[in-house]
Amino acid sequence: MTRDVALPAYDRARLTPGIVHIGLGNFHRAHQAVYLDDLFAMGLGHDWAILGAGVREGDARMRDALLAQDCLSTVIELDPAGHRARRVGAMTGFVEVQPDNAALIVAMADPAIRIVSLTVTEGGYFVDPATGRFDPTAPEIVADGAAPGRPATAFGAILAALKLRRAAGVVPFTVMSCDNLPGNGHVTHDAVTGLARLSDQGLADWVEANVAFPNGMVDRITPATGPRERALAASFGLKDPVPVTCEPFRQWVLEDNFPAGRPPLERVGVTFTPHVHAYEAMKIRILNGGHAIIAYPGGLMDIDLVHEAMAHPLIAGFLDKVERDEIIPLVPPVPDTDLTAYFTLIQSRFANPEIADTIRRLCLDGSNRQPKFILPSLRDNLAAGRVPRGLILESALWCRYCAGVSDSGAVIAPNDPNWGRLTETAQTARAEPARWLAMDDIYGATGRDPAVIAEFTRALNDLWSRGTAAVLQDYLRG
């Protein structure tokens, strides 16, 4: 250990868990865990430590790695002015990962646990993209509904633990999503209650009446861990197979809806407000939508890193024009926030060369992300009587990317849970562009709009015949 690594500024032996967190990926360890680490260093909230948990095979590997280092996480902030490393000690243990989640259910049933939080990715909530609602026909949900005593999903385990607490007369924990999706509290509520209705309507009614699901907005750019990140940890004298790197910026906005209590996170910069939806719309449309806007042209032009894409005048210009013309004007007002200044901050964050975030990561899982990050802005433009040429071009770029080869002919490796279907549809759309928009579970009625079909057809044909750079150049010329 070297002197330039910040260690927990509190006695970890005095911490007791008050939160079970499901999904100990990079984002959680660079975000929620860091806020709690800061709080504990102030001598506050020591009964709110994190007990880690997971329901997937990858969670078991993460458990092994973290237990081997006493549940400490290495977090390295990648500031262009200099890197800063810290060991975050907010987690005190990690529940055994089991197929039936028995140990997790017991842990969540403990009265000391007052919050169960989740980062299970945007695609982990069983939402039908076309309707935006919980899908009770998803195979994993159907399986949990048929065998609620042996649940395989996080929501099934949460429901089983809530049932035990109800039977024991223990107040229910608050369920707090920390995933990046609109109305994450509402979405989580729908998943838990929707699953309950498949096997126990009485339990569903009790959850409706008694369990809180606060909405929240979370933000911090956190790249995936690879050899570079492990080498960065080693440069600080740390041998850590799962270090986290992140940008200096972080933000967390929450509804103050925690009937069983909560840590005083406002002391470390968390914003508690009834207007989470406004912050969330701003972030999802401007930041996450912006990621999608630069991702697919970057992928098609064989650009590897996000800051390299931001240094390309055509991609940076595309981002700037779409945001200013088609996204920002339709984002609802946000308390004490200048949306133009927020976008300027986003541009600088994307351009940070120290992050070394990858274009491939931003291209990942478009079938889940496009309906959340791009289509709401597209629909709002149509409702206002405008055909958003830039947003439709972004959708055509996604289609062209999913065909599986870049402009140079380089093969694009599978990069979506539905890659097989997307690739087949994208290749068919080369001759029949409307086939892409006919994916009703993604586009819904928007994909049947004649103006959208016409503009998409023109854009996709141009991408195939002339290439990404030429099409972006034309778009920027107006």
Residue-wise pLDDT tens digits, 177-205: 999 888 999 999 999 999 999 999 999 99
List the beta bridge partners of residue 88. 73
What type of residue sits at position 93? G
What pLDDT is stored for residue 182 in this prediction? 86
Q: How far apart (Å, rounded) are the C-alpha atoms in residues 163 and 161?
A: 5
Closest CA to 131 of 441, 385, 405: 441
- Specify burial of residue 431 (Cβ count, 10 A radius: 0-12, 13-18, 19+): exposed
Residue-wise pLDDT tens digits, 436-453: 999 999 999 999 999 999
Residue-wise pLDDT tens digits, 282-306: 999 999 999 999 999 999 999 999 9
What pLDDT is stored for residue 3 in this prediction? 56
Report the run of H or E that residue 245 belongs to, with start and end.
Answer: strand 244-246
Please check the confidence at residue 234 and state whether its pLDDT lies above 80: yes
Report the run of H or E that residue 370 belongs to, with start and end.
Answer: helix 366-373
Tokens for 349, please give them.
């964050």
What is the pLDDT of the chain when averaged over all its residues? 96
Q: What is the mean pLDDT of residues 39-66?
A: 97
Please check the confidence at residue 224 and state whether its pLDDT lies above 80: yes
**Could you tell me whether strands 91-94 and 49-53 are parallel, antiparallel, or unpaired per DSSP bridges?**
parallel
**Where does the pLDDT of residue 1 fall: very low under 50, low under 70, confident under 90, or very high at 90 and above?**
very low
Tokens for 24, please give them.
């100990």
Written as one string, the DSSP assignment of 12-61 is GGG--EEEEEE---HHHHHTHHHHHHHHHHTT--TT-EEEEE-SSHHHHH
Output DSSP code: residue 7: P
Residue-wise pLDDT tens digits, 353-369: 999 999 999 999 999 99
Residue-wise pLDDT tens digits, 364-388: 999 999 999 999 999 999 999 999 9
% of the chain exceeding 90 in pLDDT = 95
Closest CA to 202 of 170, 159, 172: 159
**Where does the pLDDT of residue 132 fall: very low under 50, low under 70, confident under 90, or very high at 90 and above?**
confident
Q: What is the mean pLDDT of residues 458-474?
A: 98
Q: What is the mean pLDDT of residues 208-226?
A: 96
149-186 per-residue burial string, b: 16 or more CB within 10 A, e: under 16 = ebbbbbbbbbbbbbbebbeeebebbbbbbbbbbbbbbe
Q: What is the mean pLDDT of residues 25-47?
A: 98
What type of residue sits at position 335? P
CB atoms inside a 10 Å sphere around CB 130: 17
Domains of the chain, start order: 5-273 (3.40.50.720), 277-477 (1.10.1040.10)
Please check the confidence at residue 2 and state whether its pLDDT lies above 80: no
Closest CA to 443 of 375, 377, 387: 375
Residue-wise pLDDT tens digits, 400-418: 999 999 999 999 999 999 9
Residue-wise pLDDT tens digits, 67-110: 999 999 999 999 999 999 999 999 999 999 999 999 999 999 99
**Could you tell me whether strands 82-88 and 127-128 are parallel, antiparallel, or unpaired per DSSP bridges?**
unpaired
